[in-house]
Amino acid sequence: MSYAPEVRERLEKDAKEIIGRYPKARSALLPLLHLVQSEDGYVSDDGHEFCAEILGVSKAEVVGVSTFYTMYKRKPAGDYHVGVCINALCAVMGGDEIWEQLTEHTGIGHDETTPDGKVSLERLECNAACDFAPVMMVNWEFFDNQTPESAKQLVDDLRDGKDIRPTRGPKRLCSFKEASRVLAGLPDDQAGEGPSAAGASLEGLKVAKANGWKAPEA
């Protein structure tokens, strides 16, 4: 099976725009994998074939890349892909406990999706937000300073279709497919919304400014 003609036509238009940003077409493979993931919610067999054809590379090469990176899913992710950081700092601050309670609460494990297709879970290794540990992400937006209770409530609210806002970043939480389209390099104009750095992340900067410290000259 391959994409319906109207889907293919739409994907080709977006793919050509993305490919045009690179000196060599094959360099566009990573964003194109996000593009097909934005269509199917994972990198499907059709997605692999589409990338191979439009880039003029073999399907084996495409599969070799897509199966290397964990951000490319091999089966459909939920509308809300929930990541729990279980790397060292988050783990000791409660990430391990959040993961344990969340998997028990939802009945799903790593890279699995709830039967209603709403939520999938993933163990993440550092979200680069350690000063807000323990941190979770939903479709790559931050949910800081979580507890097992807040994590379970968050997932229940997502499944109930409630209006959820990330701790930082945009006011609206997009779907996994929409987030994949942004990662393909086709922005939704929400990237600049809301605070990015905040709280503990800025403490060192404040101390440096108060003391007149500067980075050494290169």
Residues of this chain that interact with ligand FES (CB under 6 A) are 85, 87, 89-90, 126-127, 129-130, 133, 135
Q: Which is nearer to ligand FES, 43 or 129 (CB)?
A: 129
First to last CA, the chain: 56
Q: How far is the CB of 166 from ligand FES (least distance, A)?
A: 15
Q: How far is the CB of 171 from ligand FES (least distance, A)?
A: 23
Q: Which is nearer to ligand FES, 15 or 85 (CB)?
A: 85
Measure the CA dihedral 57/61/62/64, to 10°: -170
Q: Which is nearer to ligand FES, 168 or 181 (CB)?
A: 168
Q: How far is the CB of 86 from ligand FES (least distance, A)?
A: 8
Q: Which is nearer to ligand FES, 47 or 83 (CB)?
A: 83
Task: Tell me if residue 140 falls in helix, strand or coil.
Answer: coil
Q: Which is nearer to ligand FES, 18 or 98 (CB)?
A: 98
Q: How far is the CB of 131 from ligand FES (least distance, A)?
A: 8
Q: Which two tokens stand for residue 18?
A: 């993305």
- Check: CB of residue 81 under 8 Å from CB of residue 176: yes
Instruction: Identify each DSSP E strand in the chain by its residue range.
Output: 80-85, 112-113, 119-124, 136-138, 141-143
Q: How far is the CB of 170 from ligand FES (least distance, A)?
A: 19
Kind of pairing between the strands at 112-113 and 119-124: antiparallel
- Check: CB of residue 109 under 8 Å from CB of residue 103: yes
- Check: CB of residue 45 under 8 Å from CB of residue 53: no
